[in-house]
A and B are shown apart, each in its own frame.
Chain A
Amino acid sequence: MFPIYDVIVVGAGHAGCEAAHAAAMMGSKVLLCTMNMNTIAQMSCNPAMGGVAKGQIVREIDALGGLSGIISDKSMIQFRMLNRSKGPAMWSPRSQNDRMRFAEEWRLALEHTPNVDFWQEMISGLVIKNNRVCGVKTGIGLEIQSKSVVLTNGTFLNGIIHIGEKQFGGGRTGEAAAKGITEQLVQLGFEAGRMKTGTPPRVDGRSLDYSKMEIQYGNENPEKFSYSDETKPLTKQRTCWITYTNKEVHKTLETGFDRSPMFNGRIQGLGPRYCPSIEDKINRFAERERHQIFVEPEGWNTVEIYVNGFSTSLPEDVQYAALRKIEGFENAKMFRPGYAIEYDFFPPTQLKLTLETQLIENLFFAGQINGTTGYEEAASQGLIAGINASRKIAEYEPFLLKRSDAYIGVLIDDLINKGTEEPYRMFTSRAEFRLLLRQDNADLRLTQMGHQIGLANDSRLEKMLDKKSDTAKLVNDLKQKKLSPDIINEGLEGYETATIKEKVSIEKLLKRPQLGLNQIMELDQELKLYLSKYKKEVLEQAEIQIKYESYIEKEQQMVEKLNNMENYRIPISFDYLSIPALSAEGKQKLHKVKPETLGQASRISGVSPADLSILTVYLGR
């Protein structure tokens, strides 16, 4: 009934979809297994993509040839560029999305991807021979053969949903949990753990009084995620709203605390500190009189509303009563209660940088199974796992991104070397080279690599190369071109910046904090005409490269320094246990992770600088 597949992907969420698409595009024969074909690419939580650091990841996925950017663009209902008031490295695209359209676009895209087959059933186990995976077992007892398997089970592995004192098995509300895989992997020697996350209630938009809330509009000139021409920016957008909890809401919530699974110890798994439930917020920050609530539509046409900021696992009657005390929610009707979910994960220190497991050959993990949270984090891992599964069986070199290449590189390096205690989310502060890892240059950083491995298509590459050469030409011109005092001094005064005495290059002017390219071109009509022949993204790129040149150079020097450490290889057979001087923790962690380079060793949590000095001495530096 089934051929022997190159890659079987288990799970069709953000990670699974990217993995299946990438592997198939690179020529692998792929089977995508999901428990329910109607819920492919469900946004289980908020109907939004991107945000600070996450938006950069979506652009990186797109630059490499993944689909998350294009799908997000096609299902977008609102766009905002966050952090505009800060430097360009902080600008972060974020979109509100139509939940149903998002899932539909993904399904259509996969259906149109050659080499992707589908199978709807629960996968209950792996077929393993000689520590190598060679297929999966299904719920009804089928065995499907493959050369590699990518597990992207999300919250489904032994998922337990909590609402107040009620608890039941499930991977998402209304969907069954997946059983069997954890038990088998533990038997094979994997270490497993438990994590927790939560989601807020959904309400009927027709029952809300928006006149009592602040309106939150999208950007006037919306942008998009994908670098390709396949998508266009929105021409109309939906608005969101902001409202607040109050003391009454808090009091009502507190009446349910004795029945909260969070507080009475029924939930064992560790939840994310940066995504706390509303009960957690009022419990830990009792002094705060109100908390922000984002009222987000779930799509273009649906009346369903996502109550962002109100994640909870309190009993549904308490949720309902508390919701109705929120300004504008007095008559709210609840569609679905919020809930908490516990699920199995496998500490990611058991993986290689390719996301292949150390224990079982050709078995790859991606997404929440690795202890991460977030659509973008999951999708990017799926992409890397899919790429590497495909390359491994074709006997190509692994595809790895460095910390200085991409947020995706930071994410995977952190996971493998540091592991994670709580669901791991990306922050810009996690990236030591964040001034280089910007949303405006993900294509310049990654598209060539994506093209080289056969994922990013020719038109993407050409577009990127055009942008690169146009930018280089423009930067050069801006350095050469000088403006004279008699033409621009009046304008400079208008911008409240110092006038000039002799001709000054545009480059010099651009470095002034008060001046951007948009301001400077207004000073000189001839210049404006000249600049008008360049694309917007080229102008932006040139401006950033000139304005922040010194900072960017400084970071690039640091990258080179780091790469020196990265190039210092540690023999795989190195015996850490025989070095008494290493700290107990450092010894254990080094032994477990077996870092390939001194640079990698330096990033393993529990490995102290003293341990590193000792290693350096032993390695004979």
Chain B
Amino acid sequence: MSFSLHEKEDTIVALATPQGVGAIAVIRLSGKEAIKITNAVFKGKNLEKQESHTIHFGTIRDGERIIDEVLVSLFVAPKSFTKENVVEISTHGSSYIVNQVIKLLIRKGARPAKPGEFTQRAFLNGQFDLAQAEAVADLIHSDSETSHQAAINQMRGGFSGEISKLRAELIHFASMIELELDFGEEDVEFASRNDLRILVEKLLREVEQLILSFDLGNVIKNGVPTVIAGKPNAGKSTLLNALLNEEKAIVSDIAGTTRDFIEDEINIGGVIFRFIDTAGLRETTDVIEAIGVSRTQEKMKTASLILYLFDLGDTDMVEINRDINKLENLGVPFLKVANKIDKAGSLFISDLKEKHPDTIFISAGQKENLDHLKDRIMELVNLDKFRTGNTIVTNIRHYDSLVKTRQSLLDVLSGLDNQITNDFLAMDIRRSLHYLGEITGEITTDDLLANIFSKFCIGK
């Protein structure tokens, strides 16, 4: 992410809203020349003479050709996100228009921004500290309510709170070790090996919990990997579209916006579900038949959720039992979804209800009972624990530091088992202090000494 100083002087431009999603797209520029460059292609008021935090209607023109009608928001340095001049141009959400506008701005002197460069500028210009900058980046990348919540929590210090508790406990543990090393001659009571073991085990449990939360955090950020499995013509694509249409009221109606892109992710109740291997789904092969093939099996296993979809009019009980058996062996949570409820005979339905009472009956085509399906999906992924304010690690750097912290704590534990003396234990503890310090800010000897002096009567 590094760049040279002269690059920092450039004015950068990029699309600020996700590619191909909404009815409106926002193009952002940041840098000394941001307003000047925009003004050169804008027909309306003279932007260079306008105050900060004002919005202006006008058109973007390439020569005489009008590209789009737009709204331009001005943020004059330093009162902006990056502390530089910032312009946000809201255009209609067509990727064709967006591309035209960006190309035009580049021709007038802007440079395409590198990934994260806006945030980096904000960081370099003193808008954020490192952890906050990371949270902002997450916020920008967050596509769903839950993910948004996790990012917001982190910015507000929810994560920091948990970590600083952990930090305090680790400092306490480390100073118990140091106490005996530097002050072995003092008339104070030292922690027994057993006390130390209890302390380090407690620390490990807490680190472990945070590490586990990363998997959940990942789900929030990247979506729950989901597969719809079923025979050809079971209605997989119809179901996908039905779910999609429910959630995304604004589906782009502008030509050139392809379906492929948005089909992948669906927002249900604030959680993103990411449909994997959708290309495979559209093929006319029977995914369940293919479970026997190891490559398909591996794919299916990476899912956190499988929707087993079958056509009530085209499936018999033997087939259903066989499929369910296979899915149970796969070990991935799945829902039994009976489609085309309108086409089924009542006898078959009651038989099914008896044998598989948890079957969800829907009609994807008629959009019937989809709410019930969504409720069941939410129940299954049980994401409620995300929302109760539990701390969740969503940042890969934090995750990495926590994993390393855990490893050094495990080393401490095995050191205690092997009865090595405190000076060697201290080495492993220092490593864990170091790794945790990568998240919380450095933990110094002075922190340890301060803790010792506040708790023990030291000195002759």
Interface residues in chain A, defined as those with a beta carbon under 8 Å from any beta carbon in chain B:
46, 51-53, 82-83, 85-87, 89-90, 272-276, 281, 284-285, 288, 291-292, 294, 308-309, 311, 418, 427-430, 432, 434-435, 513, 548, 551, 554-555, 579-583, 605, 608-610, 613-614, 616-618, 620-621
Contacts and interface: CB of A to CB of B under 8 A. Distances in A.
A52 B185 contact: yes
Nearest to A309: B460
A513 B419 contact: yes
A194 to B, nearest CB: 20
Interface string B426-460: 11001000000110011011101100010001111
A318 B430 CA distance: 45
20 contacts: A46-B460, A51-B185, A86-B184, A86-B422, A87-B423, A274-B449, A275-B459, A291-B457, A292-B186, A294-B460, A427-B178, A429-B448, A513-B418, A554-B427, A580-B83, A580-B125, A581-B124, A583-B129, A609-B130, A610-B129
A427 B459 contact: no
B195 interface: no
A284 B441 contact: no
B40 to A, nearest CB: 28
B420 interface: yes
Given A273-B453, A618-B5, A90 B437 contact: no
Given A272-B459, A429-B178, A429-B448, A435 B423 contact: yes
B2 A621 contact: yes
A311 B453 CA distance: 17
B192 interface: no
B126 interface: yes
A301 to B, nearest CB: 24
B181 interface: yes
A409 to B, nearest CB: 15
A621 B442 CA distance: 21
Given A87-B423, A274-B459, A605-B446, 5 more contacts: A52-B184, A87-B422, A273-B458, A609-B437, A610-B441
Interface in B90-123: 123
B417 to A, nearest CB: 11
B134 to A, nearest CB: 11
A46 B438 CA distance: 42
B423 A581 contact: no
Contacts of B449: 274, 427, 429
A620 B181 contact: no
The 5 closest A-B pairs by CB, nearest first: A292-B187, A580-B126, A87-B423, A610-B130, A273-B453
B348 interface: no
B159 to A, nearest CB: 16
Given A52-B185, A90-B181, A427 B445 contact: yes
A428 B2 contact: no
* Most chain A CB within a 10 A radius of its CB, from B180, B183, B186, B457: B457
Dominant secondary structure of chain A at its interface with chain B: loop
A276 B5 CA distance: 52
A271 to B, nearest CB: 10
B298 interface: no
A550 to B, nearest CB: 10
Contacts of B83: 580
Contacts of B448: 429
Given A580-B83, A580-B125, A581-B123, A608 B460 contact: no
A418 B4 CA distance: 31
B457 A285 contact: yes
Contact of B423 (A86, A274, A309, A613): A86
Interface string B309-348: 0000000000000000000000000000000000000000
Contact of A428 (B131, B181, B185, B457): B181
A273 B424 CA distance: 26
Contacts of B181: 52, 83, 86, 90, 428-429
B369 interface: no
A608 B422 CA distance: 29
Nearest to A555: B427
Contacts of A429: 178, 181-182, 426, 445, 448-449
Contacts of A284: 457
Contacts of B424: 87, 435, 548, 551
A288 B129 CA distance: 44
A284 B459 CA distance: 13
Contacts of B438: 609
B46 interface: no
Given A429-B449, A614-B124, A276 B423 contact: no
* Most chain A CB within a 10 A radius of its CB, from B83, B182, B185: B182
B421 interface: yes
Contacts of A275: 459-460
B25 to A, nearest CB: 30
Contacts of B2: 616-617, 620-621
Contacts of B131: 610
Nearest to A587: B126
Contact of B4 (A294, A605, A620): A620
Interface in B35-92: 83
A417 to B, nearest CB: 12
A548 B427 CA distance: 12
Nearest to B182: A427
Contacts of A605: 444, 446
Contacts of B423: 86-87, 89-90, 428, 434-435
Nearest to B120: A617
B180 to A, nearest CB: 8
Contact of A86 (B124, B421, B446): B421
B343 to A, nearest CB: 62
A548 B441 CA distance: 31
B408 to A, nearest CB: 11
A609 B419 contact: no
Contacts of B4: 620
A513 B420 contact: yes
A274 B457 contact: no
A47 to B, nearest CB: 13
B457 A613 contact: no
A430 to B, nearest CB: 5
Contacts of A46: 460
Contacts of B126: 580-582
A87 B187 contact: no
Contact of A288 (B182, B418, B430, B457): B457
A263 B441 CA distance: 36
B460 A90 contact: no
Contact of B427 (A274, A309, A428, A551): A551
Nearest to A307: B460
Nearest to A288: B457
Contacts of A311: 460
B7 to A, nearest CB: 10
B420 to A, nearest CB: 7
A467 B442 CA distance: 40
A291 B459 CA distance: 10
A580 B419 CA distance: 50
Nearest to B125: A580
A109 B459 CA distance: 32
A583 B441 CA distance: 13
A216 to B, nearest CB: 11
Contacts of A83: 181, 184
A593 B157 CA distance: 32
A162 to B, nearest CB: 19
A46 B459 CA distance: 13
A54 to B, nearest CB: 11
A308 B182 contact: no
A311 B457 CA distance: 14
Contacts of B442: 608-609
Contacts of A51: 185
B130 A613 contact: yes
Contacts of B460: 46, 275, 292, 294, 308-309, 311
Contacts of A273: 453, 458-459
B442 to A, nearest CB: 6
A294 B460 CA distance: 8
